[in-house]
A and B are shown apart, each in its own frame.
Chain A
Amino acid sequence: MPKRGVISALLTAIGVVLLINFKTPSQQGFAAFNRQTVTGTTNTDGTASAGGTPPPTATVPPTAAATPTTKTITGPAISYFFGTAQVQVTLENGKITDVTAVQLPNEGQSAWISQQVAPILRSEVLSAQSAQINLISGATYTSAAYRQSLQAALDQARA
């Protein structure tokens, strides 16, 4: 075999290894999420919306509006290809302190996807403090519907 063949085979192998090791943020997100579920099995409640996430610090009970500055608003239910998405957002003095998915598709494969993406979307919202969040690959439609419901809720809260 000519030298050229050996060199291109080697370069190809290196390239493939690099490609396999390339992880997108959402893949890292999934991995982090999976680790959390493993360590937190003692008190997971198993629901799709909040399953496995570590208890957020200082959450206000979502349904009880404790002080006038704390608002909890449920966004509209958004129907899309794979089901319905609806979120509930809690604001404290205009700051988003919590967001939960009231509804996400819960059939078969979609349920699994919902379970995977809900915590990622939640943490994105908490850090972005708005509905301007990235769509999650592999769940583009779910994240778009989630975003739409959230945007409507925020519009209502800040109106």
Chain B
Amino acid sequence: MAAIPTTLARVPMPRTWRLKPIDVAALLVGNGLFIAAMWWRHGGLDQIPTPGGPFIAAGQLTALLGTYTALVQLVLMSRSPWLDQLFGMHRLAAWHRWIGFATVWLLLGHGAFTTIGYAAIGHTSPIGELWLLLTTFPYVLMATAGMAMLIAVGVTSVRIARRKLAYETWHGIHLYGYLAIALATAHQLVVGSDFMHDPVARIYWISLYVAVAAMVLTFRVGQPIAISLRHRLRVANVVTEAPGVVSVYLVGCRLEQLAVRAGQYFVWRFLTRDGWWRGHPFSLSAAPNGEYLRLTIKQSGDYTRLLQQLRPGTRVFAEGPYGVLTGARRTRPHLLLIAGGIGIAPLRALLEELPVARGNLTLLYRASDWDDVVFRDEIDHLVEQRGGLVRYLVGRRGTREMPTDPLQARALRRLVPDIGRRDIYLCGSIQMMEAVEESLEILRVPPAQIHTERFSY
């Protein structure tokens, strides 16, 4: 059993911003409207009566909006702490998914509409016109190569394809999204009718790109490098917690100054021959204490198997902290933590850190097998120390000991009669979380009291 520090050293809280979801929505929608207005002011509608005009107009509008949503895509995935704090990465990822498909369709529409419209002006066939566009319009070939890349990104993200692909393959193809956006830029400025003739529009458009690039570079590149230089994280020890589950202890410089809260996670990059190029999110499984960081990993694929063999001394890059499963979301004095399987990791850290009066804390720990239960000693110790209660709900559903799901609404109410008055922190597999969320809905627990973090790839 790992030593639990009896008194927690206070590490600084991550910075918070006084942003509201409405601010972000206003900014995003506002820019979209501004772009549409720019198109209108440049005579977008006036072209409609001309030959091929309706297609050219549609081609311009889909181009502007498709490019804009492509930039929004980068912002959503820029790992910005502002957006994470407001929405949580899993919600951003869900939006990214749907806006992504919309982007691909809009830009495909741009290509098709523009080809048909120019064919009408030039009295050529669409195929002939397409050839003309590719060979005689500056940078259109380049943009078309980008389009092909975006299609590949879209196709590999369709659910069926995604399931069949390794995470690394899917992610590698996804990186072409950046290249696609870069390749499309030149033709917008050189042949884009909104930008050719209007220097103000050109400056606006370029500054959108600059702002997005700055966000991506700051949060995805600059910030992890800064953390790495400042704290020089490295693996101190790797401890087996259960069959297929290891805890990795990290040490470094000035850890007492690393602002992070229990319940949060970093995207970790272990600088080994086979690990430096891929980052994966893992929660801290112990409250930050200024001496070490601990993350706990269950083996579930090739990558996590490799992590079991990490050697002490390995340098680590960390991007973060991220996550909304923290004390910042607290609304009530009473607490209920619900863990499913390895989802115990962030809750184990919260169990240590969340302030609570004796008797006001309950932990439900669902696992299908006692072999999957980790941190048993630590949990029992912490629960006793904090005057709480823990229930291990272990067993496979449908067996004699566990005929029904112990997290069903009725069962939950029996376990925690005052569930509606508590803050609920929930982490587990997606299926488990969806089942619990359904139960909580039946029990009419106000959504503001339910705090979750989803990890799914």
Binding site for B on A (CB under 8 A): 1-2, 5, 8, 12, 15-16, 19-20, 22-27, 81-82, 108-110, 113, 134-135, 137-138, 140-141, 144
Q: Contact: A113 with B197, CB < 8 Å? A: yes
Q: How far is the CA of A19 from the CA of B190 in the complex (A)?
A: 16
Instruction: Please report whether the interface of chain B is mostly helix, strand, loop or mixed according to DSSP.
Output: helix
CB A147 to nearest CB in B, in angstroms, measures 10
> Are A8's CB and B191's CB within 8 A?
no
Q: Kindly state the interface size class of chain B when it binds its partner.
A: 20 to 34
Question: What is the interface of chain B, defined by CB distance below 8 A to chain A?
Answer: 43, 46-47, 118, 121-122, 132-133, 135-138, 140-142, 145, 168, 172, 176, 179, 183, 190-191, 193, 196-199, 274, 276-277
Q: In the bound complex, do residue A24 and residue B197 qualify as a contact, i.e. CB atoms below 8 Å apart?
A: no
A135 touches B191 (CB 8 A): no
Check B145 against A26 for contact (C-beta < 8 Å).
no
- A137 interface neighbour in B138, B172, B179, B197, Cβ under 8 Å: B138
Taking a contact as CB atoms under 8 Å apart, the answer to whether B196 and A134 are in contact is no
16 contacting pairs across A/B (C-beta < 8 A): A2-B168, A19-B141, A19-B145, A19-B183, A20-B142, A23-B138, A24-B135, A24-B141, A26-B137, A108-B197, A108-B199, A110-B197, A135-B121, A137-B137, A140-B118, A140-B121
Residue of A nearest to B190 (CB): A138
The SS class assigned to the A binding surface is: helix
Q: B133 contacts which chain A residues (CB < 8 A)?
A: 137
Whether B191 lies near A16 (C-beta < 8 A) is no
Given A19-B145, A138-B190, A144-B121, residue A5 in contact with residue B138 (CB < 8 A): no
Cα–Cα distance between A25 and B128 once the two chains are bound (Å)? 17
Are A135's CB and B122's CB within 8 A?
A: yes
Are A137 and B277 touching (Cβ within 8 A)? no
| Assembly CA distance A16 to B136 (angstroms) | 18
Q: Does A137 contact B145, Cβ atoms closer than 8 Å?
A: no
Compute how far the CA of A27 lies from the CA of B136 in the bound complex, rounded to whole angstroms. Answer: 8
* Structural contact, B136 and A26, CB atoms closer than 8 A: yes
In the bound assembly, the distance between CA atoms of A5 and B274 in angstroms comes to: 12
Contacts of B122 in A (CB 8 A): 135
Nearest CB on B from A82, distance (A): 6
> Which residues of B are found within 8 Å of A81, using beta-carbon distances?
43, 46-47
Task: State the CA gap A48–B277 with chains docked (Å).
Answer: 55
